[in-house]
Amino acid sequence: MRRLQDLAVSADPDGDTWTEAAARVDALIELLAPSDAPEGVGPANRVPSLPGAGSLLMAPYVITSMEPDGVALTVRFSRFHVGGNSAVHGGVLPLLFDSIFGMVIHAAGRPISRTAFLHVDYRNVTPIEETLTARGWIRETDGRKAFVNAELHRPDGTLCAEANGLMIRLLPGQP
């Protein structure tokens, strides 16, 4: 599916090929539609052993460490994530950081929380087709609040982007 996503945004076939591809996608939809399931049943965000925890929205990441003092992972962006000039689209990075923040909260044993704010500083171009490392941690807590940080690095140590945010623990019964 990830390769299909990449080709859907980067292939340049003739019109007949696009028409045939659309027909094949329709056939896949017809095949999968009877198995449509509610949130929390399909693989998206439920299967940590799958790249990106099973979510096709996320760049494929692999968690390398998940401890109470922080989370580390590797991530590889592809053509699907390009904003231009073989660089990751800037809007993709907040998605990654928000997911890392959620993992950090879980690893620290804190109750389910929601993102109150997320700030990203873009330090250097984030490349596609390169295995990057990210880590996130809780900087401090104050009652229901957890102030979190994360960084994304190239293999040579270059800082691509860093983020900080505020996660708020949900109240009982809060969605």
Instruction: Compute the distance between CA of residue 49 and CA of residue 133 in angstroms, rounded to an integer.
Output: 17
pLDDT tens digits, 45-89: 777 778 888 888 889 999 999 999 999 999 999 999 999 999 999
- What is the reported pLDDT for 8? 87
pLDDT tens digits, 109-136: 999 999 999 999 999 999 999 999 999 9
Q: What average pLDDT does this structure show over 23-32?
A: 92
Q: What angle do CA 102, 67, 139 make, to 5 degrees?
A: 60
- What is the reported pLDDT for 45? 75
The widest CA-to-CA distance across the chain, in whole angstroms, is 60
Q: Can you tell me which residue has the tokens 């073989």?
A: 86
Q: Can you tell me which residue has the tokens 């509610």?
A: 38
DSSP annotation of 92 reads: H
Q: Which domains does the chain have, with CATH numbers?
A: 37-169 (3.10.129.10)
For the beta carbon of residue 121, count every other beta carbon within 10 angstroms: 10
Confidence of residue 94 (pLDDT cuts 50, 70, 90): very high
- The tokens describing 58, both together, are 């996320």
- The tokens describing 154, both together, are 């190239």
Q: Can you tell me which residue has the tokens 């292939």?
A: 11
